[in-house]
Each structure stands twice: as C-alpha cells, then as structure tokens.
Structure 1
C-alpha cells in the first residue's frame, strides 16, 4: 500500500504530514486509517496544544489514490465501507479532536485534500495553491458527510461550484470566499503555519479545547446516507475511473 501519514513533534506542537511520493500526497486507504489513529492519539493526550497538518513536498493533498479504486469502488458494500469507515473515520477523528488544528496548504488541495483542510481550524495557504473537488470527471459524487464538511467550511455555493462544475479555484479566490485565513508567499507557508501554531500553543489549552467543543455543538446533525452508495456499479462510475487510469477523456452515458 502506498503512502503514509507521518507524526513528529516540535515542542507542544504535533506535526502530521501526508506523504505519498509521486502522487501529490493522494490519500490511500491505509493513509485514512493512519490519520484516524494519529488524531485519536492526539485527542487522548494532554501533551499537545496545537496540530499542524501539512503535505510532503510541494503539495498538500491531490485527492484520493485512484489506482486503488477498482479494488472496491464498484460494489456498494465495499464502497460504503471505504467512505463510512476509512474516510469518515479519519475525518471524524479530526473533527472530534479538541486540540486546535492548523492546515499548512501548498500546491494541490483537491478532493480528499479539501475534506482534510475543511476539518482544520485555521487554514494558511501559499499563493499558488489550488482548490477543488473535480470528482464529477470521475463519475461519482462526494459522500454525504464529506460534502457536509466541505460545504460548511467552504460555503454552499463554493461546494456546488466545485462539485457541479468541477471548478478549480485559486488561493486568492478561496481567501475572498472565507475558506482561508491567510494567503502568503509560497516559501513562507511553513513558517506562517508554525507561527500560528506557536501563538495558539502559548494560550490557555483548556480554553481552546472548550472553545472547540462549543463550536462543534453548533453542527451536530449529520446528513442522511441511506442509499448513498447505490451508484457503485453504475456505468458512469466505471467509465470515469477507467478513463482516468487509462489517461483518456471519459465519455459518460446519458443519465437514466
């Protein structure tokens, strides 16, 4: 299995690094599970006052590892397990974490990257970073709870644009729309993210945890997921992923 989520520490700051060399840190199933394990560990400890989530190299996260998709996406039960156990397990562990989380975003922040960034409290990006969720090109929708997280963080109109137009937006545009706290020169993103984490870590840790618990109470009700994965064996789902892996433009059938 490709890719890993690495853990390191800098004082009271936990550093979580998405690493999938050659794939712009695309998330594999193993990486989603590792993300869950790390954030569960961080939540259980009183050692950490802030977390920085970042990508290795010049990207944050370009989405999911599509090379894995034929192994499970075309069966409803295994597709549901992927989204509701692997992906949601990782995202929910982030959302349930009471330690403040800073996103250090460079380069591509697509699909799974948007979802992970949306679970962070503070988002800082380099000026050349790009954002989107162009999965309509792959013939499938965003899972319901994942779409809820993105829509709440990025705004409903932005989520609709990304999902329905496959729009890819710049850091400046995402800052204007309220998704990003700060946009900085590409070479300064890491320093800015650490500086933000250090400011948070210098403040009252219990107050930070209580603030996160209060904010989480504002959006407890989740979306319905009944029949959300019945598209698993559809022609367009198969065509979208096959076309990507074969490096060709997809030809989607008419909706039926």
Structure 2
C-alpha cells in the first residue's frame, strides 16, 4: 500500500489527511500526486474558511517513502521529474490555495513533512512534535525549490542546521525561532484547533483570498509598482462594505 492523501469537507473546513500509517505517513510518489489533486480541487472554493493538513494517527509525516527511491533516484531525468513535477507540484498546489491552510502537527515532521508544513500558512504543533530533514544521511541534498521554501519559512539558520548537521529539533525550539505559530499539549490540540477554526469562520473570505495572493506575490519578489496596480480594486466589494457597516452598527458582520 503506497498511502493516500484524503480530503473531507464539512461546514466550510477541508480536512486533508496524510495517510500512510505503516510508514509514519511518509510520502510516496502517489501521495505527492494525491496532494496536488486534492489542493487543485480546493483552489477557488469560496465556501472554505480554512484547510487543515494533518497526519493519520500519531505522526504528521516522517519524510519520503525511501522504499521507492531505488526505482527512480539514480537517473537524472526521473529524479528531476520526481522533484520538479511530483513533489513541487504538490507543494505549489498547497501554496496556491486561496483559503488559509493550517498544518496540525503531531509526532514526527521530517523531510517532506517539513516541506508540507512550510507550504502552510499557520503551523500549530503538539509539544511532542519533532522536526528535521536528515537527508544528508541518505547521501543527497534537498531540491532547490524545496530548500528555498524551507529556508524562507523555517529560517536559514534552522534550514542549515537541519540539512548540514542532520539536526532534529523539538517543537519548543522551533517556536522560539518563529517557525511555529503555537505549541500546545498533545491532548489540547483538537480544542485549540476548534477555537482557531471558529475564529476563521467569522472572517472575510475576500480578505483571506487577497492576503493569500499578496503573500504569494511578496514571496515571489513581485515589484511594488506591480503590487499597487489593482491593489484597491476591492473598494466596491460587498464584504468590504459589510465589514465597515457592521463595525459602525455594532453588529456581527455576515460575510458568507
């Protein structure tokens, strides 16, 4: 069984589950393709207030499924296809999601798991989570796009420590470095997520979409003069008017 990436949508929240429990949810090639398919399907869904990415059981994702590697890693063309089309295709689909994406992290978050978490907007972790990318032990580097993403989100100091020293870091250390938004005891993780989702459900979907696009443009280094073109086109949008009028009228806004 090569594992699966599953998605269930309920009440405006998509729960995306990395499911390969026999290998601590390690990502197979089929799972990378699944990840892209799932997020391509969610893109543009204005009914979503949030997407949650989590692992099945006690772990988020333990990395890549190494049992598959001999079949493709030793030829340049197949290796390039794996990283540029399958892996980056999945990560880019997560990055392109218009709804806020929350990584709910338990247990091992290694290699591919760190990359997926880095593609999410908010990283909420249990206090027993562990992070690393010890691929130097396997004799290969992180692919350029993936390393750029991890270095930008996790921080260059952390990326260098993970990749050059094969460091495995606890959640508390990553939180202190600004790579995680919140850590809580493992048994409090569901309640903390529920509170976060409840808050997000009350917010403007338009604002979320515009912020997500802005963050993508900033990460891509888009010049400010291009960002300013059309930056205020939302002026006449219903959600903009509703938010302001609700605040002045001292009532709860109705965005959806």
TM-score in terms of structure 2 length: 0.84
More helix by share: 2
Residue 92 of structure 1: aligned partner:
92
Gap runs ≥5 in structure 2: 223-256
Q: Secondary structure at the match of 1:22?
A: helix
Q: Secondary structure at the match of 1:174?
A: helix
Residue 13 of structure 1: aligned partner:
13
Q: Secondary structure at the match of 1:7?
A: strand
CA contact 1:3–1:27 (8 Å) conserved in 2: yes
CA contact 2:127–2:186 (8 Å) conserved in 1: yes
Gap runs ≥5 in structure 1: 223-256
For the residues of structure 2 that align with 1:166 and 1:193, how far apart are their CA atoms? 30
CA contact 2:44–2:98 (8 Å) conserved in 1: no
Q: What does 1:1-256 align with in structure 2 at a 5 Å threshold?
A: 1-220=1-220
For the residues of structure 1 that align with 2:35 and 2:133, how far apart are their CA atoms? 20
For the residues of structure 2 that align with 1:166 and 1:194, how far apart are their CA atoms? 34
For the residues of structure 2 that align with 1:198 and 1:10, how far apart are their CA atoms? 13
Aligned residue-pair number = 222
For the residues of structure 2 that align with 1:189 and 1:175, how far apart are their CA atoms? 15
Segments ≥4 residues shifted beyond 6 Å: none
1 or 2 for the larger relative contact order (CA 8 Å, sep ≥6)? Answer: 1
For the residues of structure 2 that align with 1:49 and 1:81, how far apart are their CA atoms? 33
Q: Secondary structure at the match of 2:88?
A: helix
For the residues of structure 1 that align with 2:116 and 2:195, how far apart are their CA atoms? 21
Q: Name which one, 1 or 2, has greater alpha-carbon Rg.
A: 2
Compute the RMSD of aligned alpha carbons. 1.2
